[in-house]
């Protein structure tokens, strides 16, 4: 069992004047599941890289202070050989590139360590079974979805039984079932003695599973305690870090700390309310009348070479001015649906019409900028040397004037909280900020049709709220939106309708709020509370429900042990553990 220790750790990225980590001292014990949390830029990803020994050896930059993994500095040794497994935030970039099948990809770590053949085969088979990816074993790694890739890479780390697991946003592309399964597996691994450290923003997933919550801010440890203590208080929210959906809703309603962390606890604090069924009303906004719907799939059949068909005579029609969530398990074909709509792929049978244009024989350049497309991997659409120049590229190519381009760029940067980063190189930004930049490049030309692939993946709470507001603003201006997502809050707050992708087809769900169980997503707190109160579907979004909750008094709200102060777990004092 291997502890991780840092003393006065400072780290700085290449060409950056400020320290991404500034005086971090902590001890992470074996057998604990430690959760790193904080707003974008807080330093959690940088800390994971330093703990893995990859900064500055792989990333460049500078490192000062001490990092110990057991008896050694991980920067002086190969992570794999030292029993360190590291999963980065861009899973596709971590594939070996030489494995022909998922089975071979999972085995790669053991092969690199020179294990005997039978040991490799036994360990690989056991790990594939333990991580539940048997159905993927014979697939080509480069043909996987984003969520499938995350699961395969975790298996590739586990095959050598590492004593330390460092995972950066391991749930960001996972569907609800896979997310819960991976989270439970991490708990088991910690109980078996592994040192597990997870950096993510998913409070509802991590709250009941993590033993310890460390909140970073501006490269320093701001809070250190148990999840329940910190998530219920004010200090974490003040720092810009996300809490659970229930606590967030109570905070928006003005309830003082400590706040309920689960929806059931929040409901228990409300006065008795007659339970009424959700009304049949609250339809999606009335579509804007146009000559043709913005997206039509008619009898579409499509498959990638050497693989079963993704779609078999699939049909879909989006009405103008609507916002639709494309839902379904990992690998169902959601990203492929967007690629077909953008003419990045073409059907083998049937037709796709995007903005009344037949996509057959056309490419994405023929559909832009009236159709905007956000890739799941934002690095695929970033080319310029500054954020401002990146956002201005689309308007310039569309023939906009310099004045109109500058005004539109300034507006979208402000909407997404990117103004202060306007002169930064996009590739100098962490992945979540690159995602926001990519989204800004899509929104800036005000497309009539928006095709968004996981627009909120790995974002912090404030950035997600900005994306929600931007998507709703685009719809209010007449845009039609189709967004792939596993984010229940985003789907509920930003989108009106849903389609379920799977089994070769696209099935219409209808108005999301009225048919939420069909989405396969956990009910957001606002929806659950709205249903408890018998509120109609349209007012079930957070601000409206928070307004209703603000009328109720929270009993016991003035307790002296309010966790707006950082609290420690019940454990012996540790002088190396910052608060």
Query: What backbone phi and psi angles, to 5 degrees, belong to 96?
Result: -65, -35
Residue 225: which pLDDT band, with cuts at 50, 70 and 90?
Answer: very high
Q: Are 172 and 150 within 8 A, CB to CB?
A: yes
* % of the chain surpassing 70 pLDDT: 91
Label residue 330 left, alpha or beta by phi (over 0 means left) and psi (-120 to 50 means alpha): beta
What is the model's pLDDT at position 540?
A: 85
Q: DSSP of 464-506, one letter per residue?
A: HHHHHHHHHHHHHTT-EEEEE---HHHHHHH-SEEEEEETTEE
Q: Give the number of other CB atoms < 10 A from CB of residue 54.
A: 18
* Segments in 30-175 forming alpha helices (H): 44-51, 102-112, 117-130, 146-158
What is the model's pLDDT at position 574?
A: 37
What is the model's pLDDT at position 487?
A: 97
Burial 422-450 (b: 16+ CB within 10 A, else e): bebebeebbbbbbbbbbbbbbbbbbbbbb
pTM: 0.92
Q: How far apart are CA 510 and CA 425, in angstroms?
A: 41
pLDDT at 372 over 90: yes
Q: How far apart are CA 246 and CA 268, in angstroms?
A: 12
Task: Tell me the average pLDDT across 342-365.
Answer: 97
Angle among Cα 441, 481, 335 to the nearest 5 degrees reads: 80
Q: How far apart are CA 531 and CA 512, in angstroms?
A: 13
Q: What's the mean per-residue pLDDT of the chain?
A: 91
What is the model's pLDDT at position 77?
A: 87
What is the model's pLDDT at position 531?
A: 87
Task: Tell me the average pLDDT across 258-287.
Answer: 68
Residue 539: which pLDDT band, with cuts at 50, 70 and 90?
Answer: low
What is the model's pLDDT at position 306?
A: 84
> Which pairs with CB-CB distance under 8 Å and at least 24 residues apart come from 283-287?
283/511, 284/322, 284/323, 284/496, 284/497, 284/511, 285/321, 285/322, 285/475, 285/496, 286/321, 287/319, 287/320, 287/321, 287/322
What is the model's pLDDT at position 552?
A: 80
Lowest mean pLDDT among 13-17, 149-153, 212-216, 248-252: 13-17
The H or E element that residue 324 is part of is: strand 323-327
Q: Which residues contact 138 (CB under 8 A, 6 or more apart)?
A: 101, 102, 103
Residue 143: which pLDDT band, with cuts at 50, 70 and 90?
Answer: very high
Burial 242-257 (b: 16+ CB within 10 A, else e): bbbbbbbbbbbbebbb
Lowest mean pLDDT among 57-71, 175-189, 407-421, 528-542: 528-542
For the stretch 469-486, pLDDT in tens is: 999 999 999 999 999 999
pLDDT at 271 over 90: no
pLDDT at 561 over 80: no
What is the model's pLDDT at position 389?
A: 98
Which is higher by pLDDT, 222 or 306? 222
What is the model's pLDDT at position 91?
A: 87
pLDDT at 287 over 60: no
Chain centroid, CA 326 distance in Å: 16
What is the model's pLDDT at position 537?
A: 53
Lowest mean pLDDT among 138-152, 281-295, 329-343: 281-295
Residue 24: which pLDDT band, with cuts at 50, 70 and 90?
Answer: very high
Q: Are 483 and 452 within 8 A, CB to CB?
A: yes
Q: How far apart are CA 9 and CA 18, in angstroms?
A: 14
pLDDT at 141 over 70: yes
Residue 577: which pLDDT band, with cuts at 50, 70 and 90?
Answer: very low
Task: Tell me the average pLDDT across 451-474.
Answer: 97
pLDDT at 284 over 50: no
What is the model's pLDDT at position 379?
A: 86
Rg (CA), the chain: 24
> Over 256-280, what HEC string results?
CCCCCCCHHHHHHCCCCCCCCCCCC
Q: Which domains does the chain have, with CATH numbers?
A: 295-520 (3.40.50.300)
Q: Are 82 and 69 within 8 A, CB to CB?
A: yes
| Number of residues that make up the chain | 579
Closest among 531, 458, 573 to 169, alpha carbons compared: 458
* 3-state percent helix, strand, coil for the chain, nearest multiple of 5: 35, 20, 45
* % of the chain surpassing 90 pLDDT: 84
What is the model's pLDDT at position 466?
A: 98
Closest among 463, 465, 468 to 452, alpha carbons compared: 468
Residue 361: which pLDDT band, with cuts at 50, 70 and 90?
Answer: very high
For the stretch 58-117, pLDDT in tens is: 999 999 999 999 999 999 988 887 899 999 999 888 999 999 999 999 999 999 999 999
Closest among 445, 437, 405 to 421, alpha carbons compared: 437
Chain centroid, CA 13 distance in Å: 23
> Which pairs with CB-CB distance under 8 Å and at least 24 residues apart come from 362-369?
367/342, 367/343, 368/394, 368/445, 368/447, 369/394, 369/395, 369/397, 369/398, 369/445, 369/447
**At how many degrees (to 10) do helices 461-476 and 431-443 cross?**
10
Task: Tell me the average pLDDT across 38-45.
Answer: 96
Q: Which residues contact 473 (CB under 8 A, 6 or more apart)?
A: 415
Task: Tell me the average pLDDT across 202-211.
Answer: 97
Chain centroid, CA 250 distance in Å: 23
Residue 565: which pLDDT band, with cuts at 50, 70 and 90?
Answer: very low
The H or E element that residue 447 is part of is: none
Q: Are 497 and 481 within 8 A, CB to CB?
A: no
């Amino acid at each position: 069992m291997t502890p991780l220790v840092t003393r006065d750790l400072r780290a700085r990225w290449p060409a950056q004047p400020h320290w991404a980590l500034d005086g971090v001292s902590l001890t992470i014990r074996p057998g604990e599941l430690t959760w790193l949390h904080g707003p974008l830029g807080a330093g959690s990803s940088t800390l994971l890289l330093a703990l893995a020994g990859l900064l500055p050896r792989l990333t460049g930059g500078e490192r000062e202070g001490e990092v110990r993994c057991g008896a050694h500095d991980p920067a002086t040794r190969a992570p794999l050989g030292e029993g360190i497994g590291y999963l980065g935030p861009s899973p596709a970039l971590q594939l070996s590139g030489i494995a022909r099948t998922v089975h071979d990809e999972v085995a790669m770590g053991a092969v690199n360590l020179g294990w005997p053949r039978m040991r490799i085969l036994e360990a690989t088979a056991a790990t594939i079974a333990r991580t539940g990816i048997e159905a993927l074993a014979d697939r080509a790694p480069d043909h996987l979805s984003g969520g499938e890739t995350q699961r395969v890479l975790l298996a590739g780390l586990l095959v050598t039984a590492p004593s330390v697991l460092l995972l950066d946003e391991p749930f960001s592309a996972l569907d609800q079932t896979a997310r819960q399964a991976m989270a439970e597996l991490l708990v088991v691994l910690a109980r078996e003695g592994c040192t597990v450290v997870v950096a993510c923003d998913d409070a509802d997933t991590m709250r009941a599973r993590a033993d310890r919550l460390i909140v970073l801010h501006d490269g320093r440890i701001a809070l250190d305690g148990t999840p329940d203590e910190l998530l219920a208080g004010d200090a974490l929210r003040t720092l810009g870090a996300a809490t659970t959906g229930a606590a967030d809703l109570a905070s928006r309603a003005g309830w003082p700390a400590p706040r309920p962390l689960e929806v059931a606890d929040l409901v228990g604090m409300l006065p008795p309310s007659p339970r009424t069924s959700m009304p049949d009303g609250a339809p999606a906004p009335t579509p804007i009348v146009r000559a043709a719907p913005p997206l039509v799939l008619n009898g579409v059949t499509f498959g990638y070479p050497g693989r079963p068909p993704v779609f078999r005579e699939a049909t879909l029609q989006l009405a103008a001015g609507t916002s639709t969530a494309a839902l379904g398990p990992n690998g169902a074909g959601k990203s492929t649906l967007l690629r077909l709509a953008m003419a990045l792929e073409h059907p083998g049978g049937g037709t796709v019409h995007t903005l009344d244009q037949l996509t057959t024989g056309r490419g994405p350049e023929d559909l832009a900028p009236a159709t905007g497309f956000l890739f799941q991997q934002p690095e695929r659409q970033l080319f310029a040397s500054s954020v401002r120049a990146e956002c201005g590229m689309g308007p310039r190519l569309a023939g906009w004037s310099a004045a109109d381009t500058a005004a539109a760029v300034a507006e979208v940067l402000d909407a997404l909280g990117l103004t202060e980063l306007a002169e930064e190189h996009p590739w100098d930004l962490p992945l979540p900020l690159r995602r926001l930049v990519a989204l800004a490049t899509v929104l800036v030309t005000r497309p009539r049709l928006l095709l968004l692939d996981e627009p909120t993946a790995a974002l912090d709470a404030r950035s997600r709220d900005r994306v929600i507001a931007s998507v709703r603003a685009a719809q209010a201006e007449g845009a039609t939106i189709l967004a792939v997502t596993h984010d229940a809050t985003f789907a509920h707050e930003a989108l009106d309708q849903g389609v379920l992708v799977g089994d070769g087809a696209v099935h219409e769900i209808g108005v999301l709020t009225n048919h939420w169980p069909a989405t396969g997503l956990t009910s957001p707190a606002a929806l659950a509370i709205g249903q408890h109160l018998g509120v109609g579907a349209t007012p079930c979004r957070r601000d409206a429900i928070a307004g209703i909750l603000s009328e109720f008094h929270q009993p016991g709200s003035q307790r002296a042990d309010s966790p707006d102060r950082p609290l420690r777990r019940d454990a012996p004092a540790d002088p190396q553990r910052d608060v």
